[in-house]
Amino acid sequence: MNESYFLASFVQSADALPRCPESIREVAFAGRSNAGKSSAINTITRQKKLARTSKTPGRTQLLNYFAVGDAGHFLVDLPGYGFAEVSKEKKKQWQAAMRQYLTAREPLVGVVLVMDIRRPLTDSDWQMIDLQQQGEAGLHVLLTKGDKLSRGARIQAVREVQSALAEAGVEATIQDFSSLKAEGVSDAHQILDAWLFDTGLAI
């Protein structure tokens, strides 16, 4: 494991691309509201309160930047998506903002797409994948809440998502993950290391 992640610290929030900090490389975490995105970030960094978690869908409304390791390297917590309480206009604004970020943010090297392993690849997830595919950043799928399923069911879920992505022509690495049991952290670190610190991919 790379202990740099355990020293991650909040730097700033941004509501638009021009207000994002200067960056060398960054990896964004995206996910449907209540998929466990903030909890995954906290587990990966071993910090209980780094990313704000809430039972209220859509609490993360800004791009939240967390510094990792060398200056200019960041994890970015993106606004959650897919919650019904938001108006169509708000959803359009979110989609426009995410498209701009994912396609025009030059330091963005990877997107970690967080999905509940019990309900993966919803329509909203496919919309996010479509936006991610319009940019240059790589894709890693993190199937959270793995502790809710048996080992066999987890393996099957990973295979099914892998097959669906391949059928859609989407290149991605994929893993199961449990914030509750801190399982899958080493695999997640390897992906982040490859993107942020050029260590090469080994998962």
Task: List the chain domain ranges.
Answer: 3-197
Question: Residue 85's pLDDT is what?
Answer: 63
Q: How far apart are the C-alpha atoms of 32 and 30, rounded to whole Å?
A: 7
Which band of pLDDT confidence, cut at 50, 70 and 90, is reported for residue 83?
Answer: low
Which band of pLDDT confidence, cut at 50, 70 and 90, is reported for residue 58?
Answer: very low
pTM above the 0.85 mark?
A: yes
DSSP bridge partners of 29: 77, 112
Q: Kindly report the CA angle at 162 between 161 and 166, in degrees rounded to 5?
A: 115
What pLDDT digit, counting tens, does each position of 150-194 carry? 999 999 999 999 999 999 999 999 999 999 999 999 999 999 999
Which residue is it, tokens 């466990």? 36
DSSP bridge partners of 74: 26, 67
> Of 178, 175, 120, 112, whose CA–CA distance to 149 is shortest?
178
Question: Residue 86's pLDDT is what?
Answer: 66
Alpha helices in 46-147 (DSSP H): 88-104, 123-133
Straight-line distance from the first to the last Cα atom of the chain, in angstroms, rounded to the nearest whole number: 13
Which tokens in the block code for residue 62?
């800004």
What pLDDT digit, counting tens, does each position of 157-168 carry? 999 999 999 999
Question: Residue 46's pLDDT is what?
Answer: 96
Which tokens in the block code for residue 180?
């509750």
Is the pLDDT reported for residue 78 higher than 80?
A: yes
CATH, domain 3-197, list 3.40.1800.10, 3.40.50.720, 3.40.50.300, 3.20.20.70: 3.40.50.300
Amino acid at 108: L
Question: Residue 202's pLDDT is what?
Answer: 47
- Per cent of the chain over pLDDT 90 is 75
Compute the chain's Rg from CA coordinates.
16
Which band of pLDDT confidence, cut at 50, 70 and 90, is reported for residue 70?
Answer: confident
Segment 25-44 mean pLDDT: 95
Segment 112-128 mean pLDDT: 96
